[in-house]
Amino acid sequence: MPMLTASPHDVMRRAIAKLDDDKVMAVVDALQLQGAKLSAVVAVPLRSLQKKRDVAAFAAGAPIDAVSGLLELLAMDPLEKVIEALGEHAETPSYEQLTTAIATLRGATVSDDELVAVLAFAIGHEFPAAPHCRQILGEDDQLALPEIEVTIGQASLLTPKVVDESVREQRRARREEEKARKHAQAAKVKVERAHPKSKSEKKKPVVTTAPATTPGAATLEVSRRRALLTPAESALYDVAHSMAGWVVTTEVPFDNVDPVMPDQQSKIRPAVVVAASDEGLLVRGIYSNPSPSRTVFSPWRRLGLDHVSYVDVARSPVASGAEVNRLGVLSDEEWNALL
């Protein structure tokens, strides 16, 4: 795929595949993932990479949040050097200013692998200089990114989630343990029936008094409320879709122009799926900062978010071709609290 038209996610994945495996694994092995406050969508793929040591498979199949996080670690130090070389032009450099800064660093203090990481990270996060970074990667054969076949999130929202083989093995082991426990319980019951206790050994029945019930009181059953959509939204999305109620990470469009990065139209963030269809998803974004239009997202810890989060009342469309990673589904109580 030509560099000028490749998606930001595709560029980041291809950059990871381009880098020297040993250098990538040196960074990954240095991570202390046990007990780290990372979301599962990032921590699990990185732990799997530490174990399997297959960088190409990680680049092609890991959730984009994990790919982006690893690329950020690889780009951090050389990016600081490029920023320092750009000086006062670091915020919005021209193509000539960027190529000049790179030329002064390349080979001396920044390797080609580090340069690839910096350029791909800038493209993936849509820095103001991202178009210049694309041009540099497209023009320099030494920095050219390999083509890869992405193995996650290609088809549609209905595509089954790719499950790591180690996760399957853990689930299989848990099922076997549960089966063994039930067999042991059944054997115990069988022995007790074969050797019943004598009458003198039998326990006296325990008499209990049912708690008093207030006349007219009834058991409260929690039922899942249906989201109310506008007529235009109802024409495109189904509130009864199987994705409704899921919390995902995906590329959520901005409501307004970001004054800091006016060219950036969207950002990967957690979101609650309100409704869905073949057209895509209708979501409410989850943010780290409060505002008058946001309420506390109470299940943030259960779903692997690393800090207190807030869900916005505004609903945003996500196209059917967007990459979607599922974090978990809301309970009826959690869902109803948002409506």
Q: Would you say residue 19 lies in a domain?
A: yes
Q: Would you say residue 99 lies in a domain?
A: yes
Residues 133 and 24 in one domain: yes
Residues 236 and 139 in one domain: no
Amino acid (one-letter) located at 213 = T
Q: Would you say residue 82 lies in a domain?
A: yes
Amino acid 129: pLDDT = 92
Q: What is the pTM of this model?
A: 0.48
Residues 132 and 237 in one domain: no
Amino acid 219: pLDDT = 40
Kindly report the backbone phi and psi dihedral angles of residue 305, in degrees, each rounded to the nearest multiple of 5, phi listed first. Answer: -75, 145
Number of domains in the chain: 2
DSSP label at residue 35: T
Residues 138 and 239 in one domain: no
Amino acid 97: pLDDT = 94
Amino acid 267: pLDDT = 86
Boundary (domain end) residue, out of 143, 177, 207: 143
Residue 283: name the closest of 210, 229, 204 by CA.
229
Amino acid 43: pLDDT = 85
Boundary (domain end) residue, out of 93, 110, 143: 143
Q: How far apart are CA 229 and CA 274, in angstroms?
A: 9
Residues 115 and 239 in one domain: no
Q: Would you say residue 161 lies in a domain?
A: no
Q: Would you say residue 182 lies in a domain?
A: no
Q: Would you say residue 184 lies in a domain?
A: no
What Cα–Cα distance (Å) separates residue 229 from each residue in 55, 70, 240, 253? 43, 38, 12, 19
Q: Which residues in the chain land under pLDDT 70?
A: 1-4, 35-36, 152-170, 194-222, 255-264
Amino acid 155: pLDDT = 39
Q: Would you say residue 179 lies in a domain?
A: no
Q: How far apart are CA 222 and CA 227, in angstroms?
A: 15
Q: How far apart are CA 55 and CA 40, in angstroms?
A: 19
Amino acid 21: pLDDT = 95
Q: What is the CATH number of the domain that holds 254?
A: 2.30.30
Boundary (domain end) residue, out of 143, 161, 195: 143
Residues 121 and 244 in one domain: no
Amino acid 13: pLDDT = 94
**DSSP-assigned letters across all residues of 10-49:** HHHHHHHHHS-HHHHHHHHHT---TT----HHHHHHHHHH
* Residue 84: both structure tokens together: 């320092």
Q: Would you say residue 201 lies in a domain?
A: no
Residue 65: name the closest of 42, 38, 47 by CA.
42
| Domain range enclosing 18 | 8-143
Residues 15 and 137 in one domain: yes
- Give the tens place of pLDDT for each residue, 230-272: 888 888 999 999 999 999 999 988 866 555 556 667 889 999 9
Residues 235 and 139 in one domain: no
Continuous H helices in 106-230: 112-124, 130-139, 165-194
